[in-house]
Structure 1
Amino acid sequence: MGNAVAENVLGTAGTIFWCIQLIPQIIRNYKVKNCEGLPPLMMFLWAASGIPFAIYFFASDGSIPLRIQPQLFTLFCTVSWAQTLYYPPYNLPRRRMWIYIVGFVIIGIALEVGFILWLRPVYRHGTHWPLLIIGIIASILLAVGLVPPYFELAKRQGRVVGINFVFLFMDSMGALLSMLSIIVGTFDIMSMVLYAIVLAMEIGIATSHAIWYFRMGKRIIKEEKAAAKLQEESKECPSESDPSDDVVVEQDVISTKEELA
């Protein structure tokens, strides 16, 4: 009885984290209006992974939270993906960005409806392997989505740029709590491997930034802040010789000469 309660509590907590973990990242993208360092491929693969996850949980008659979670996850991933396309450094035209997003949503809905209507009766009749393949595809897409950030780390000597650490922490907590729910409850090797891969790769991202910070980050961040402060001061305090003043003086001299002539 105790294990069942612990499994439900940990599983629910993990599901909640994996429903809302991208909200801090979306807010950060909107405020900064720059997605440098956040790979669009990562957000696309995560959004795509939510489709087979939704098919899996709907067709296998999963609980209501398990059905809702991939829908919210796909929604927030799609929003973040749109931001990475629209904001710098990619700066896609708004029309082109909407074509990608709307096309993805239409295809995703069609796949979900089609596969759920097809595979639910198959699953209920005792044939489980088609849904198992769907679940494996979803897990692979989710795990592979964490590969592109490592290319961004390699470009910047291990520095994390563009990825919100609150989002990273919440996502890691979702994986950790889900792992613990499996350990204390019904053990599922496929889910355990997925959660372990996600947790390990996200810890790797955070560790890479920590190593960069202690090696050279303090000096670089201090220099960047000093440069930003100097730039702000130069904007607030215009130079003593304003070009517009020179133009006015020249016009006065010309008009004076004309009067004397």
Structure 2
Amino acid sequence: MNVPVAANVLGTLGAVCWSVQLIPQIVINWRRHNATGLQPTMMMLWAWAGVPLGVYNVVKDFNIALRIQPQILTFLSLVTWTQCYYYEKKWSVIRSLTVVVPVACIMGGVEAALIIALRIAQGRHLQWPLTLMAVLSAALLAAGVLRHYWDIYVHRTVRGISFLFVGIDAAGDVSSLVSVVFQREFDVLGIVIYGTELILWIGVFACGGYYNLLPWVQKTLKRRKRDANGSCALAPVCSRSSGREPDSAPGPIALHDLPSSTSVFRTPSGELDIVRQRSMASRGGDDENAVRP
């Protein structure tokens, strides 16, 4: 087919990324035994997006890697969709397979029929059916990711989705995008398909940085500052409670001077309460000894 070597290499790299993209998400769902926040609608839209995308890549005679890529996308999307219903809807394995296997068979039949039909249309110099496949696949891929955007808007956080999965998928989009560029025939619609999803994933990364990473960094810095200030303020108190004179320069609280249940994540006010309680308990014991005959 005279496909350039660069297109084959990059297309293979994109197919590899798409082969493993959903595996981190599947493993995370399995380990935590839930799929909270992961949108089953997104997974089903992606599964159906693989049908017109596969038709388009096969009829356009793209390299073999780009032909296999949509089939892998459909398969992994159906597996993840099944996990959503198995963990969140409490479906049994039998019920899940009873639903997903016929859906997969229908998808395969539809794709095969469309490939035959579009090759006949291409022989008659009809291009609009192939253009429709490209637009439909791009729309379904975008709709799947946009469904997660709605969840981000509602909950003000990126939840349920693995950023490793997002990163691998974005890398696959980049490789596939460049592979299409290196095809002998420059294909605008192929660029639109992969470029649209890449832009949406970049947006998910940006939302994750704003809603997840930034608050975590701020919380960590505030906790360290609070712990440092609390250590300096409590040094004289701990010295008096242990019968030692305070040092000229305040130092951190020794862990052996605090109860074993005290955590380094407690607030300074909580630590002061602990010291006061121990001091009051000690004075109470002395008073009892004083009144005892």
TM-score (norm 2): 0.66
Alignment correspondent of 2:198: 199
CA contact (8 A) 1:11 1:181 kept: yes
Give per-residue Cα distances to partners, 1:25-51, cap 9 Å, x unaligned. 111111111111110000000001111
> How many Å apart are 1:194 and its aligned residue?
2.4
Distance 1:176 1:57, change over 3 A: closer
**What is the CA–CA distance in structure 2 between the aligned matches of 1:15 and 1:104, rounded to whole Å?**
23
- State whether structure 2 residue 101 is matched by structure 1 residue 102: yes
What runs of 5+ residues in structure 1 fail to find an aligned partner? Answer: 224-261
What runs of 5+ residues in structure 2 fail to find an aligned partner? Answer: 224-293
Give per-residue Cα distances to partners, 1:174-211, cap 9 Å, x unaligned. 11222333445543222222222211211111211111
The residue correspondences of 1:143-222 to structure 2 (distance < 5 A) are 143-157=142-156, 159-183=157-181, 186-217=185-216, 219=219
CA contact (8 A) 2:8 2:65 kept: no
Give per-residue Cα distances to partners, 1:81-140, cap 9 Å, x unaligned. 10011112x333444433331231121122123222332233244333222212221121
TM-score (norm 1): 0.74
Determine helix, strand or coil for the equivalent of 1:38.
coil
**What is the CA–CA distance in structure 1 between the aligned matches of 2:159 and 2:171, rounded to whole Å?**
21
Distance 1:113 1:193, change over 3 A: closer
What percent of counterpart residues are identical?
Answer: 34
Please provide the CA RMSD for this pair.
Answer: 2.7
- State whether structure 2 residue 138 is matched by structure 1 residue 142: no
**What is the CA–CA distance in structure 2 between the aligned matches of 1:151 and 1:60, rounded to whole Å?**
34
The residue correspondences of 1:103-118 to structure 2 (distance < 5 A) are 103-118=102-117
Distance 1:215 1:70, change over 3 A: closer
Alignment correspondent of 1:76: 76
CA contact (8 A) 2:55 2:111 kept: yes
176-185 or 32-41, which moves further after superposition? Answer: 176-185
Q: Number of matched residues?
A: 219
CA contact (8 A) 1:60 1:123 kept: no
